[in-house]
A and B are shown apart, each in its own frame.
Chain A
Amino acid sequence: MKILVAVKRVIDYNVKVRVKSDQSDVDLSNVKMAMNPFCEIAVEEAVRLKEKGGVDEIIVVSVGEAKSEEQIRSAMALGADRGILVTTDGPASSLTVAKTLKAIVEKEQPGLVIMGKQAIDTDNNQTGQMLSALTGMAQGVFASEITIDGDKLTVIREIDGGLQTLSLKMPAVVTADLRLNEPRYAKLPDIMKAKRKPLDKLTLADLGVEARQTVKAVKVAAPADRKAGIKVADVAALVDKLKNEAKVL
């Protein structure tokens, strides 16, 4: 069985995000970029499934700018066997990515697609669901545990106030939640090996996908600054402020 893993290049989770002065977008110039944390978890899960046996190949795919090759190489250092980079002009919408993945699924016929539940840059949480709808594959989203048993896949998902266990018929799409696993570190010898692993470079046109931008970001604004606190002289002053300024009493 093949596993297809989708990964996205995003701003590093720990970088303090700055908004461009014209409020058109987040400022990405000279900012550390990394693999989306949920995608890392997806890669790790695929590698663990392969280590358990029954998985022949892990294919990692990224749709986006040419530099996404770095994230594909990272995934290959962690254990993915080969990569597919689909370059786009500018950011691709969730639907464009889902359609691109559909084209790759048709070509590669994976038994399982694992991806992050959402990317931390756009926070959309929809590509996995869209891919499932477009391909008719079963979906198990927000997975915190997955087990393969023949052509069945058991997915435990985190839902409000508890856990839900699903049984899916493969092929299936699974999106990874935070507690699915803890990704390993990339080993230096594996990073060297990853450089020699095969990587196909395609464009959207190669796959017959048309990039359509149906949503336009109007404005990006930073959260309002918190006002500094004040000290009051005594309880009476505090009560007065709470009554007359904060109006909570």
Chain B
Amino acid sequence: MLGLGRQELMSALCHIFDQDKVRDDQTTLQSHGCDTTKAYTAAPQAVVFPTTTEQVQALVLLANAHQLSLVPSGGRTGLSGGAVASNNEIVVSFDYMNAIGDVNTIDQTVTVQPGAITQLVQQAAEHAGLYYPVDFASSGSSHIGGNIATNAGGIKVIRYGMTRDWVLGLKVVTGTGAILNLNKGLIKNNTGYDFRHLFIGSEGTLGFIVEATLGLTQPPNNLTAVVLGISSMDGIMNVLQTFQNSITLTAFEFFSESGLSLVTQHGLNRPFEAKAPFYVLLEYEQTADADALVMAAFEQCMENAWVVDGVISQNETQLQTLWALRENLSETCAAYTPYKNDISVKVSDVPTFLAEIDAVIAVGYPDFAIVWWGHIGDGNLHLNILKPEHLTKTDFFDACKRVNKDVFDIVERFGGSVSAEHGVGLLKKEYLHHTRSAADIALMHGVKAVFDPQGIMNPGKMLP
């Protein structure tokens, strides 16, 4: 490392942090040097666990003085390599900055440290009779800091939006070591550039998030799930439109028959016997009025033959088992070494977009099995290709790189996004230009230079 020998570095780190919060044993280096993306090798030189904002600031100043590279690390559930340290960096883990403050029921906010686990924040809100609505399969491990740094989405976006919509205040340490209090929990604040939104989704390239004030809302009541079998992709859009015109949906998810057959091989029951190419899971808050509207919408969908059959949850247990059909997909697929992609287009473009990708893969890679699922109400599709048994992992992933090119060409043509909710990290940065223009990317470099002129913050991530 420039300017600091190994021993000097360790002693400088121990000067800032408690001794047991500086680690360079292999176990910690391996566990905290990567995220859920399995394509990279963890090779950091140390992992530190700050407990205060001042320690974070001191570390940033040290890094600036000696050209050290810092990688922020949260719950390590990321799927784009944003928290990977494979290049002798220092990993800054927020495992010990995980306090969750008291819920303010008048402001409907809670102030938390970045290492707070998403699910525990949800539970803290629930105890106070409120609701933190950002939710996804990994909420039991992911950290709020990581959620903000990646602007996490998930399964309730159609009703509640992304993480960005729930951040009312941020305290950050920039790449120069300045401590900024951004927006301070205000709802209305028109006082010039809102740097808070630059940090949301910045993937640790501008600085560290050391505290966040999150907005909360009223919890939904009597959530009820409906699973429908859909006769064709065009039908899905009609179904979405029919239900959205009738009631407020809290979720509108879809998955393909290939996905359903996978999860039902692993212990879940089919919702109904009739098979369909696609299935939709929609969720709403049950009232007598909403039920009647759902029934009317369903009848309309049946009459038009968009839907082949459908079931509805009658209690919380069934709500959870129906959701399991959708939520267990990712884990079930993991056993098949899948190639995963997370892309989005405008909602109305989904059917043609999906058909084009299906066609390209069917022609170029006839032995690839595609499993589709996603938050179709947000135009967000998760494309999964299962590794055929006869291909080695290397050959399969090489072929997938070629698939990437084809897929991203189509994404670009549709004006879509190469990363809907997983972020860019290492995995997508060479494809960023399919979604962001050259002028865009040049300005992004410019913003980075303002907040992190020495390039110590998560170098090599996001920006090509």
Contacts and interface: CB of A to CB of B under 8 A. Distances in A.
Contacts of A191: 295, 312
Contact of A12 (B269, B309, B315): B315
Interface stretch (B100-108, B317-325, B373-381, B449-457): B317-325
Query: In the complex, which of the residues B271, B311, B322 has the most CB atoms of chain A within 10 Å of its own CB atom?
Result: B311
Contact of A13 (B295, B302, B313, B315): B315
A34 B309 CA distance: 23
A35 interface: yes
Nearest to A15: B316
A14 interface: yes
Contacts of A192: 295, 299
A161 to B, nearest CB: 27
Contact of A187 (B222, B269, B299, B311): B311
Interface in B242-296: 269, 271-272, 295
A235 interface: no
Given A32-B222, A189-B302, A191-B295, A37 B314 contact: no
B272 A187 contact: yes
Interface string B213-230: 000000001100011000
Contacts of A13: 315-317
B316 A187 contact: no
Given A185-B271, A185-B322, A189-B302, A34 B316 contact: yes
Contact of B317 (A37, A74, A187, A188): A37
Given A188-B226, A191-B295, A182 B269 contact: yes
A220 interface: no
Q: Which size bracket describes the interface of A in this complex?
A: 10 to 19
Contact of B316 (A14, A30, A185, A186): A14
A189 B308 CA distance: 10
B131 interface: no
B316 A188 contact: no
18 contacts: A12-B316, A14-B315, A14-B316, A30-B221, A37-B315, A37-B317, A182-B269, A185-B272, A185-B313, A185-B314, A185-B322, A187-B272, A188-B226, A188-B309, A188-B310, A188-B312, A189-B310, A191-B295
A209 to B, nearest CB: 29
A186 B315 contact: no
Interface of A: 12-15, 30, 32, 34-35, 37, 40, 74, 182, 185-189, 191-192
Interface in B203-242: 221-222, 226-227
Contacts of A40: 314
B311 A185 contact: yes
Given A185-B271, A187-B272, A32 B316 contact: yes
Contacts, number: 55
Contacts of B314: 34-35, 40, 74, 185-186
A195 to B, nearest CB: 9
A185 B222 contact: no
Contacts of A34: 314-316
A185 B295 contact: no
Contacts of B132: none
Contacts of A185: 227, 271-272, 311-314, 318, 322
Contacts of B227: 185
A187 B312 CA distance: 6
Nearest to A71: B314
Interface string B312-342: 1111111010100000000000000000000
Contacts of B302: 189
Contacts of A35: 314-315
Contacts of B272: 185, 187
B306 interface: no
A32 B309 CA distance: 26
A32 B315 contact: yes
Contacts of A14: 315-317, 320
A187 B315 contact: no
Contacts of A37: 315, 317
A-B pairs, top 7 by smallest CB distance, nearest first, are A14-B316, A185-B311, A34-B315, A188-B310, A188-B298, A12-B316, A12-B315
A35 B298 CA distance: 24
Nearest to B307: A188
Given A32-B222, A182-B269, A188 B318 contact: no
Contacts of A186: 311-312, 314
A182 B268 CA distance: 11
Contacts of A30: 221
B183 to A, nearest CB: 34
Given A14-B317, A35-B314, A188 B271 contact: no
B317 A189 contact: no
Nearest to A75: B314
A16 to B, nearest CB: 9
Query: In the complex, which of the residues B269, B271, B312 has the most CB atoms of chain A within 10 Å of its own CB atom?
Result: B312
A12 B222 CA distance: 10
B315 A189 contact: no
Contacts of A15: 316
Nearest to A188: B310
Contacts of B318: 185
A249 B293 CA distance: 65
